[in-house]
Amino acid sequence: MSTQEEQNFGADPTAVRNSDHYVEEYNFGFVDKWDELIDWKSRAESEGDFFIEELRKRGAEKILDVATGTGFHSVRLAEANFQVVSCDGAPEMLAKAFENGRQRNLIMRTVQVDWRWLNRDIHGHYDAIICLGNSFTHLFSEKDRRKSLAEFYAALKNDGILILDQRNYDAILDHGYESSHTYYYCGDNISVYPEHVDDGLARFKYTFPDQQTYYLNMFPLRKNYVRRLMHEVGFQKVETFGDFQETYKVEQPDFYIHIAEKRYVEGEDVDG
């Protein structure tokens, strides 16, 4: 059986544009390769302490990682003494995350949950929610994006923040794919390429050193669209960073990082 069949995109892979398909895309084979694709050590080096510093600056302690994946950020934050609850909708991802935690002497608190129904399974309120690694792009309808952002908003304390990142799809849609892969995709000899891009789909192909290939179908989110949705579900202030602050890059960033604040300030207009 070929890898593509295992991932099961059907006869017309570019027709697969739905928010439920991520569970099948992150099958066991792909999840197992994921940590090769995203080398933890290089990733930690390229990110530096960006997220840790942003969270500490705001006094955040209780963190909900809604896109845990194989656990990179959950583990980093737990090791930095934050209280972390780790969720993801894909069971294979959470199993791998738990195993990664154990190897580092951590017992992770994991919950399998889809963002669209987050508050059905998550209780309590958090100082911060993180949704990192270009995860939000898995949602294909505006209805699902609004619902998920509203669920994130509801799970935050009154002065909580949401940190959500995304690929710079504006650059890909407007100028083609030129990502330097400096951030996130740091594994050796792994090629990541958008095989198909249109206004409603970015289909990325991942080729591993053993020539195995996997695909992810994602929605190409424009930066200002995401900022607008965040405001519309109630976030008061949205700050957007290009890559990480201390980037040496002068051209277009590969990733954007949005920090959305829930805190309501009397008399203050929400930005842009």
Q: Which residues bind ligand SAM (CB under 6 A)?
A: 19, 22, 26, 38, 67, 69, 72, 88-90, 93, 114-116, 132-135, 138
Q: Between 38 and 129, whose beta carbon lies closer to ligand SAM?
A: 38
Burial class of residue 189 (count of CB atoms within 10 Å of its CB; 0-12, 13-18, 19+): exposed
Q: Which is nearer to ligand SAM, 69 or 160 (CB)?
A: 69
Q: Where are the beta strands (DSSP E) in the chain?
A: 62-65, 83-88, 109-112, 126-131, 156-167, 191-198, 201-207, 213-218, 237-242, 255-261
User: Which structure tokens are listed for 186?
Assistant: 């740091």
* Nearest distance, CB of residue 175 and ligand SAM, angstroms: 23
Beta strands in 54-96, from DSSP E residues, in sequence order: 62-65, 83-88
**For 85, what's the count of Cα atoms within 13 Å in the CB-facing half-sphere?**
16
Least distance between ligand SAM and beta carbon 132 (Å)? 5
DSSP state of 19: T
Question: Whose Cβ is closer to ligand SAM: residue 155's or residue 237's?
Answer: 155
- Rounded least distance, CB 226 to ligand SAM, Å: 15
The residue among 52 and 237 lying less far from ligand SAM, judged by its C-beta, is 52
Residue with tokens 């009397």: 266
Using Cβ positions, the residue closest to ligand SAM within the complex turns out to be: 133
Q: Beta strand pairing status for 237-242 and 126-131?
A: unpaired
Q: Which is nearer to ligand SAM, 101 or 237 (CB)?
A: 101
Nearest distance from C-beta of residue 38 to ligand SAM, angstroms = 5
| Nearest distance in Å: CB 90, ligand SAM | 3
